[in-house]
Amino acid sequence: MHRRLIVPGAIAASLMLAIPASAADFEPGAPGIGDPYYPASGNGGYDVTHYDLRLRYRPKTDLLEGTATILATPTQNLSRFNLDLGLTTHEVRVNGRKAAFRTSGGRELEVTPAVPLPKDRPVSVVVRYSGKPSELKVDGWTAWHRTPDGGVAAQEPESAVWWFPSNDHPLDKATFDISVAVPDGTQAISNGVLRSQNSRLGWTRFNWRSDKPQATYLATLAVGRFDITTDTTANGLPVLNAYSKDLGANAGAARASIERTAEVAEWLEEIFGPYPFNALGGYVPNVRSGYALETQTRPFYSPRQFANGSNVSVVVHELAHQWYGDSVSVEGWKDIWINEGFARYSQWLWSEREGEGTARELADWVYATRAADDPFWTVEPGDPGPDNQFHIAVYDRGALALQALRDEIGDKDFFRVLKGWPTERAYGNAKVADFVSYAERISGERLGTLFDTWLYQPSKPGMSSAGASRITRPSVAGGGGVAPPKSWRKIAETNSVHDSGDGTGRDH
């Protein structure tokens, strides 16, 4: 027989752990994460670390059935908490016990666990649900694309509500396992690495893993009949591209563009540093929308992006987002310039690489062709407001801000900033002010006036503005008749359509 000596301090500690907090110490988590642009987005009171989604989708009826297991840690003592989900919930369990739940507002799932959840103690939440995503509209719009042979989830700033329960805001990033069963002969495309696929009883199950933190809107699902190509990069990363079998005349241009993904990513590594994720690629489903989206590791491209021929520029844009927007995500949606200004400027750098107009020439052209009274200049890229979040000014004026920064601090420090920022902030979140501080630290210069001029003033910067003195107008008076560099014609064409096809005007 062995006896164990328990000291008085250990006894006191064990008693403290055994004594539950009173009910008054537990409060509901907030039904929104606090983003002023989208007050209903996300939720407070907990942090998700991992989503495990086990889904079955029937293309003919658009019926999605799912079991989601969510691993999270409360950030406060929780009496109840919310998830974002628009489909029909059948059962919720928290730490294995059935939980009470109710829905409201078309997107809120309010969960009351059988036992309150102490702060900092990890929990598991299981949600069983089903529904037809194409029939769900939240605030009058949908993030789900119905296709002739299936369906696609790809939208910004939200898409998760249509297909899995989540804390639907970029502030709460997590890793993902996504397993999808579809009828034999159909594929399911998602993020990360395809770990396995197997068939039985007329169904094929695809198992995908994204092993780095990922915002919920960057999770994607595409079900349909695809032609799939695979390869590996020089660094050994798997590349998987998928093209709907019914793209028609756009098929060749789409392939000619997206099959250059590995080449583009290799080039971007020279500018931004090592590629931050475990896989790359892209997919083109047969949807009617006109935009592309930086869904993590595997961007979504609509066929219309290739209606005028090959469009490697849009591939550059979406892959640049893997660093600026995906690895380093916005802290709030007002910080969208951190995503779009940099992705647009990457297109200008690619144009320069291809000998089709330098970044300097493109900046001059954009500046010259927008008159001072153009409403373009009234949009403030640093805080454009929810109605202008994807306005062309966020992209183009946002890129002009980066050219002004380059002019101000010089190429050496400018490219140190571009490469250092996604390394220092990898897999996290940031706001515009964080980038300004970082640029000042790396360059050793005060840049507040420059960024205020280009990001926050509702007017066209004058020639004497900080950083603007080096952005010289072409000699054509008023900018009328200025011919854009060759590559800019393609960029302008592919971004002139600010319509997702669902009437929202969202473009990415």
pLDDT tens sequence across 340-376: 999 999 999 999 999 999 999 999 999 999 999 999 9
Dihedral sign, CA of 256, 262, 265, 267? negative
- The confidence score (pLDDT) of residue 23 equals 73
- At residue 152 the predicted structure's pLDDT band, cuts being 50, 70 and 90, is very high
Does residue 302 surpass a pLDDT of 70? yes
- The confidence score (pLDDT) of residue 312 equals 98
Degrees (nearest 5) of the Cα angle 500, 502, 507?
A: 20
191-220 per-position pLDDT tens digit: 999 999 999 999 999 999 999 999 999 999
63-77 per-position pLDDT tens digit: 999 999 999 999 999
* Neighbour tally for 311: CB within 10 Å: 24
Bridge partners (DSSP) of residue 73 are 47
- The confidence score (pLDDT) of residue 15 equals 38
Cα–Cα distance measured from residue 283 to residue 27, given in angstroms and rounded to the nearest whole number:
43
- The confidence score (pLDDT) of residue 470 equals 54
Least confident of 113-127, 262-276, 390-404, 453-467: 453-467
- At residue 300 the predicted structure's pLDDT band, cuts being 50, 70 and 90, is very high
Cα–Cα distance measured from residue 8 to residue 220, given in angstroms and rounded to the nearest whole number:
54
- The confidence score (pLDDT) of residue 268 equals 98
Beta carbons of 432 and 335 less than 8 angstroms apart: yes
- The confidence score (pLDDT) of residue 1 equals 37
Beta carbons of 184 and 202 less than 8 angstroms apart: yes
4-50 per-position pLDDT tens digit: 444 444 444 443 444 356 777 999 999 999 999 999 999 999 999 99
* Neighbour tally for 218: CB within 10 Å: 28
- The confidence score (pLDDT) of residue 462 equals 83
One DSSP character per residue, 40-61 reads: TSS-SSEEEEEEEEEEEEETTT
Please state whether 447 falls in left (phi above 0), alpha (psi between -120 and 50) or beta. Answer: alpha
Does residue 492 surpass a pLDDT of 90? no
Beta carbons of 66 and 129 less than 8 angstroms apart: yes
- The confidence score (pLDDT) of residue 505 equals 33
Cα–Cα distance measured from residue 259 to residue 251, given in angstroms and rounded to the nearest whole number:
12
Cα–Cα distance measured from residue 342 to residue 402, given in angstroms and rounded to the nearest whole number:
8
- The confidence score (pLDDT) of residue 20 equals 54
- The confidence score (pLDDT) of residue 503 equals 31
Instruction: Give the pairing of strands 238-244 and 226-232.
Output: antiparallel
Cα–Cα distance measured from residue 287 to residue 152, given in angstroms and rounded to the nearest whole number:
8
Which whole number is the average pLDDT over 121-148? Answer: 96
Q: What is the pTM of this model?
A: 0.90
- At residue 473 the predicted structure's pLDDT band, cuts being 50, 70 and 90, is very low
Mean of pLDDT over the chain: 90
- At residue 3 the predicted structure's pLDDT band, cuts being 50, 70 and 90, is very low
> Residue for token digits 């349909």?
224
**pLDDT-above-70 percentage for the chain:** 87
